[in-house]
Amino acid sequence: MLKDEKLSVRQFRLLVILFSIGSSILILPSGMAAGAKQDAWIAQLLVIAISLLFIWLYNVIHKWFPKMTLVEICHALFGKWIGTLLSLFFLSLPFLYATILMLYSGAFLTAQIFSNTPMVAINVLMLLILVMGTRLGIETLARSAEILIIFFVFLLIILIVFTLPEIKLENIQPVFEAKPKTLLRTAVFPVITAAINSVVFLMILPHVNDSKKARHSFLIGHVIGGVILFIITALCILVLGADQTARKMYPPYTLAKQINVGQVITRIEVIIAVLWTISIYFKMAIYFYAALVGLAQLLNLQDYRPLVLPSGLIGIVLAPIIFTNIVWQNTWDTSSSIGYSIAVGVFLPILVLLAGAIKKWKQKNRKPG
C-alpha cells in the first residue's frame, strides 16, 4: 500500500529537521531556563547528544525491516491480535499529538496575534491546510518543505543578525553553575519532543528511496534541528537573561520584540510567528500522516485518503476538550506526556527489537528438514 510514494534523502532530512524543531522553537527556551537557568544552552547540547541514541534505536529497527512500517512490523512479529493492539497503542500517539499541536497553534495565534478571533476559527483553518496537505501525500508535503525551508532559513538568519547587538555575555555567567543532575532533568522533556516522538518516522522511512542514506539523514536532520534550537535558546538567555526567559511563555517571541535597528527596524516578532507556524505545521502533518497510514494498514485499505477528513473532524472536535484548563495542560506537558511518549517511543521499539532478535536467532538455528 502506498509503495508508489517515494521521498528523496534530502526531502526526508528536511522533514526530520522541521519535525525536531516543531513547537519547541517557541516554548523550549522557557522550560530550559526554568530548569538550568543560564546553563540552558548546555542542557540543549546534552539534548542533542542523548537524542542520537534514540534515533540510532529507530535506525536499527529500520535496518532490520527496511520495507515495512512499524504497524507491519508489529503484525509480522506478534501476530494479528497482539500486533493490532500494539499498533493501536502506537497510533494513538501521533493522532493525539497532532490534535494537541492544533490546540497549541490556536492558543498562541489568538493570544499573540489574532486576539479578537475565536480560537476555534484558527483551529478550523489549521485543520483545512492539514487535511489538504495530508490528502496530497507525503511527497507533496516534502516538496513543500523544500520551498518553505528557504524562507525558514532566511528569516532565522535575519533574527540572529538583528539580535546580535542586544547580546549581553554576562547573562550566561557563571557558566556550569547547574549540577549534572539538574542538566539531565532539564533535558528529559526536550529529548522526548525532539527524538522519542520521532518514532513516527518508522511509518515514513520505507518511502525513502535509499534506506542506508535515509538512516544517515535521520541522524543528521536531528542534529541540525537541535543546533537551531540551541541557537534560539542561547539567544534568549544572552538577550533576555535566564530569569526573564523562564518567566515568559513564549520567550523567542519576546526576543524578537527587542530588535531595534536605528529606530527603523523594530517589533518584527512576526518572524518568530512565521518560523513557528512552518515548523509546527510540518510536525502536525507528519503526526497526522503517520496515524492515518497506520490505521489504513490495520483496516487493510488500499489508500489512507478516505480517512483524512473524518479523522480531521474528530481532531477539531477533540482539540478544545482535551484540556479543561491551563493547570491540566501543564500537568500533561510535564508529567503524563513523558510517560506516554516513553512507553510508545522507547518500550515498544525495544520490545520490537527483542522480538526481532529472537525471530532471527530461531531462523538461524533452525535445523534443515
We report the CATH number of the domain holding residue 179 as 1.20.1740.10
Per the listing, cell 502536525 goes with 284
Residue pLDDT, tens place only, 156-166 = 998 888 888 88
Task: Confirm whether 365 is domain-assigned.
Answer: no
Say which residue, 108 or 33, is predicted with more confidence. Answer: 33
Task: Give yes or no for a contact between 75 and 87, defined as CB atoms under 8 angstroms apart.
Answer: yes
Q: Within a domain: residue 190? A: yes
Q: Is 366 part of a structural domain of the chain?
A: no
Cell 519535525 -> residue: 19
Residue 101 domain flag: yes
CB 15 within 8 A of CB 289: no
* Residue 44 resides in a domain: yes
In a domain, 136, yes or no: yes
In terms of residues, how long is the chain?
A: 369
Look at residue 267 in the predicted model and tell me its pLDDT: 65
pLDDT at residue 50 greater than cutoff 50: yes
With respect to residue 3, please indicate whether it lies within any of the assigned structural domains: no
The domain tally of the chain equals 1
Place of cell 532530512: 13
Domain that holds residue 95: 9-358
Q: Looking at residues 324-336, what average pLDDT do you find? A: 74
Distances (CA, A) of 158 to 230, 250, 269, 278: 16, 19, 11, 16
pLDDT digits (tens, 9 = 90+) for 176-192: 888 889 999 999 989 99
Mean pLDDT computed over 195-222: 93
- Has residue 193 got a pLDDT over 70? yes
Residue 93 lies inside a defined structural domain of this protein: yes
